[in-house]
Structures are given as C-alpha cells and as structure tokens.
Amino acid sequence: DSPPARAMREGRVVLTGPGDPEFDRWMRTREAEAPHNRPFREAVCSVLAVPLRARGTTLGVALAVRTAPREPYAVEDAVLAEELAGRAAVSVDNARRFARERSTALAIQRSLLPRDLPGQAAVEVAHRYLPSASAAGIGGDWFDVIPLSGSRVGLVVGDVVGHGIPSTATMGRLCTAVRTLADVDLPPDELLTHLDDLVTHLAAVGAREGDAEIAELGATCLYAVYDPVSRRLALAAAGHPAPALLLPDGSTRIVTMTAGPPLGVGGLPFEATELELPEGSVVALYTDGLVEDRDRDVDHATEEMC
C-alpha cells in the first residue's frame, strides 16, 4: 500500500522512506506510471502521511515529502504534523457541516416560499429571492402573496431572527400562520397582533424545554392588503422596514408609517396605515438584508434605494 492509503486505512501517522519494502514498492509503481519524474523520486528521502481526522472520522490525508540533502523526517516532525493536521481537519469538517446545513436550510426555505404567484386581474406581482452567500448563513426571510375576497390581495414579507435550519423552520410556521389568519380576513394590525401572540408562545415553550434558540425567537413582518377597486393599500409592520413607493410620475419615497415592535415582544399594539395608490404605482416590499450592511448606514442605504 502507498503511505497515504495506509494512513487512511489505519487512521494513524505513517513515517516511511527508502528501505521500507512497502515504500519501495510504492515508488516503483509511481515510476512505472510516470517515468519522467524519476529524478525527483530518487531524491526522496522521507515521506510523512498524516490522516485528517475530526469527530472520529477520517476526512483525508495530508502528505509531506522531503528530499535529499535534507535530513529525513523525525518522530518529532510526525508529532507536530499530527497536531497541525488535527486542527486542519476540524476546520475542514466545520466547513463541510456549514455547507451541508446551508444547503438543507436553503432547500427547506425554497420549498416553503411560493413558486408560482397567483395571478391578479388588477395587480401585477413580481418577486426576487436571493439568499445571502455570507458566512452568517441562510436566514429566515420569507414573502407571500395571498388572494383575498373581493379581488383584494394580501402581501407579506418577513424575517426571522437567526440563521440556519432553526430560523428556516420557524419561518415555515409563521408563513403558514399568516395564511391562516389572512383567510379570516383580519386587518393588518390585528393580524400582526395574533402573529405576535404566536411568536411569544413559541418562545415561552422553547424556554420551558431548554431550547435557547427558540426561547430567544424574534421576527419582523409587514402585512399589507391592497384593494384594486378603491386603490387603497392598508398595511402594518412589526419592526419591519417600510416599503418603497414608485409613483407614476417617476418620484420615489419610503411609505411613512409606524414600524411597531418586532414580533415576540408581546403586549404592544400595532398601528395600521392606509394610503391611496394612483394607477400604475409600484410598491416594493423587502427585508433588511437589502439595505443593512456593516459597511454602510441603513438610512443612507435606504435613501440610495429610492
């Protein structure tokens, strides 16, 4: 066997060199495969193969080769290499776990978000969902479009605090709850009050069960109802950024409204805002990831968006 294969199979450091029968056989095999590398192989005086192990699993092998006239690797070199490989393996394993969790969270999130938005005779709806590629991971952002009676339409956008699978699962709960409450035909401020009660209840259950992530659950949400007959938009927000408005004359502004407390604070009222939209107006709902950045001020970024 080659030194890397032995290290992988046995899960231990392999220190070898010329004179070791297995090493010599390996070198002859390498020479047959690539004759042009013979000068380099003849100069090899020592090989160190170190398994990359993390959490009881061998992820790979690190191979170090030393050539003459330098001295062959010593036992002390093997000890140091094993320590460095152990640290590297943990980093590799963490990266793999992060990538796997991100992929799972993204798959769950996409399955919960609407794929085909319902057609509306008097309203055109477009959406764009672009998950973060940062180290923070996939968040709990969501949106929805809900057909209501009388040709009205409910527009939802929200953001669960945190990242990864827990926030994505919570996002699914809230998304379902909003649809259920919207079917009851509640006005925006009352719908958010019921949603706030749900988040508060989930956090309390998490605290009793010792689930720190659920116990600290929080979210923001904006719910709006547009009536194409009266051209009026009623909306309320729970700690969520106000939508941007593009009017037919080309002017833009942020809708003036009271943001209200985030979901999960409990016991505080939400205030609804109503405005009339001229025909041809565009209302843009978004999450804070669009304007929030560590390198720029949120207010300045919001102004740039408009």
Instruction: State the CATH number of the domain containing residue 186.
Output: 3.60.40.10
pLDDT at 60: 93
pLDDT at 119: 62
Boundary-marking domain end, from 42, 77, 104:
104
- Give the pLDDT band of residue 160 (cuts 50, 70, 90): confident
Tell me, yes or no, whether 138 and 27 share the same domain: no
Q: Are strands 44-54 and 282-284 parallel, antiparallel or unpaired?
A: unpaired
Does the residue 48 lie in any domain? yes
Does the residue 282 lie in any domain? yes
Tell me, yes or no, whether 144 and 238 share the same domain: yes
Tell me, yes or no, whether 54 and 159 share the same domain: no
Q: Is residue 209 pLDDT above 70, yes or no? A: yes
Does the residue 112 lie in any domain? no
- Give the pLDDT band of residue 222 (cuts 50, 70, 90): very high
CATH label of the domain that carries residue 69: 3.30.450.40
| Number of domain units in the chain | 2
- State the chain's mean pLDDT as an integer: 85
Q: Is residue 223 pLDDT above 90, yes or no? A: yes
pLDDT at 212: 63
The arithmetic mean of pLDDT across residues 53-63, rounded, is 91
Q: Is residue 77 pLDDT above 90, yes or no? A: yes
Residue of 111, 169, 99, 100 lying closest to 139 (CA atoms): 169
Whose tokens are 């938009």? That residue is 233
pLDDT at 163: 62
Tell me, yes or no, whether 90 and 213 share the same domain: no
More confident residue, 281 or 28: 281
Domain containing 61: what range? 3-104
Structure tokens at 199: 């988040």
Tell me, yes or no, whether 86 and 193 share the same domain: no
Distance CA 226, CA 276 (A): 10
Distance CA 156, CA 263 (A): 14
Residues 6+ away with beta carbon under 8 Å from 146: 153, 154, 155, 156, 178, 179, 182
Tell me which DSSP letter residue 120 carries.
Answer: -
Q: Is residue 306 pLDDT above 70, yes or no? A: no
Boundary-marking domain end, from 104, 138, 165:
104
Boundary-marking domain end, from 50, 76, 104:
104
Does the residue 94 lie in any domain? yes
pLDDT at 150: 86
Q: Give the rounded percent of residues in the chain with a pLDDT score beyond 90.
A: 46
Tell me, yes or no, whether 146 and 286 share the same domain: yes
The arithmetic mean of pLDDT across residues 36-59, rounded, is 86
Tell me, yes or no, whether 166 and 99 share the same domain: no
Q: Is residue 246 pLDDT above 90, yes or no? A: yes
Structure tokens at 32: 């047959």
Backbone torsions φ then ψ of 5, nearest 5 degrees? -65, -40
The arithmetic mean of pLDDT across residues 266-271, rounded, is 89
pLDDT tens digits for range 89-133 = 999 998 888 778 777 767 766 766 676 666 666 788 888 877 665
Tell me, yes or no, whether 161 and 84 share the same domain: no
More confident residue, 305 or 228: 228
Overall pTM surpassing 0.95 (yes/no): no
pLDDT at 135: 45
- Cross-strand partners of 302: none
The arithmetic mean of pLDDT across residues 250-258, rounded, is 92
Distance CA 66, CA 147 (A): 70
- Give the pLDDT band of residue 183 (cuts 50, 70, 90): very high
Distances (CA, A) of 233 to 74, 92, 110, 132, 155: 76, 50, 28, 30, 10
pLDDT at 56: 86
Tell me, yes or no, whether 137 and 95 share the same domain: no
Residues 6+ away with beta carbon under 8 Å from 138: 102, 105, 106, 109, 131, 132, 163, 164, 167, 168
Q: Is residue 141 pLDDT above 60, yes or no? A: yes
pLDDT at 102: 73
Tell me, yes or no, whether 98 and 134 share the same domain: no
Does the residue 176 lie in any domain? yes
**Cβ-based burial of 254 (10 A; exposed 0-12, middle 13-18, buried ≥19):** middle
Q: Is residue 137 pLDDT above 60, yes or no? A: no
Distances (CA, A) of 112 to 91, 176, 260, 305: 32, 9, 26, 28
